[in-house]
Amino acid sequence: MPSTAIDGEERALLDRLRREAAFARRLDRLSRRVQRLERNTGIAIEALALFVRFWLTITPPLPADAQAAAQVKGRERYEGFVEALGRRLQKGQSLLQEIPEDVDNQNGRAVDRPESEPLGQRRGPNSVKG
């Protein structure tokens, strides 16, 4: 085989290897994003479930004659909640930012993770495997 044919094959192989490496990096980024989405969704579901359970446990039923006034007050309070949520989101504040990145699922404790270690790269017993 002439050397130009070998050079062309080597170049094609290198190009394919570069494309595969770039594809692997993109897949890693997507995997980390999916892990964050799963984490954030799980936190939101648990927070909502905890709130609903707490609210249902401590809130007594209202007598029939007090329900209309309570509904009016409830709408006012809900509007205030939506406004506060809007202000918080406009400022870029998020409850998820206040929760540690690595949480030990068995006991709810934050797990130490060096700041230099990227999320998803941890390979300990409490890490998320992708």
Written as one string, the DSSP assignment of 6-73 is HHHHHHHHHHHHHHHHHHHHHHHHHHHHHHHHHHHHHHHHHHHHHHHHHHHHH-PPPPGGGHHHHHHH
pLDDT of the residue at 63: 94
Local confidence band at 100 (pLDDT 50, 70, 90 cut-offs): confident
% of the chain exceeding 90 in pLDDT = 56
What is the SS3 assignment for 68-104? Answer: HHHHHHHHHHHHHHHHHHHHHHHCCCCHHHHCCCCEC
User: Could you give the 3-state DSSP secondary structure of residue 129?
Assistant: coil
* Stronger pLDDT, 101 or 79, i.e. the higher one: 79
pLDDT of the residue at 120: 40
Local confidence band at 94 (pLDDT 50, 70, 90 cut-offs): confident
pLDDT of the residue at 34: 96
What's this model's pTM, rounded to 2 decimal places? 0.54
* Stronger pLDDT, 80 or 3, i.e. the higher one: 80
Question: 110: which strand partners?
Answer: 103
25-35: b (≥16 Cβ within 10 Å) or e: eeeeeeebeee
Lowest-confidence pick of 5-14, 23-32, 50-59, 113-122: 113-122
pLDDT of the residue at 99: 79
Local confidence band at 7 (pLDDT 50, 70, 90 cut-offs): confident
Answer yes or no: is pLDDT of 110 > 80.
Answer: no
Number of neighbouring beta carbons within 10 Å of residue 104: 13
51-to-25, 37, 47, 54, 64 alpha-carbon distances in Å: 39, 21, 6, 5, 25
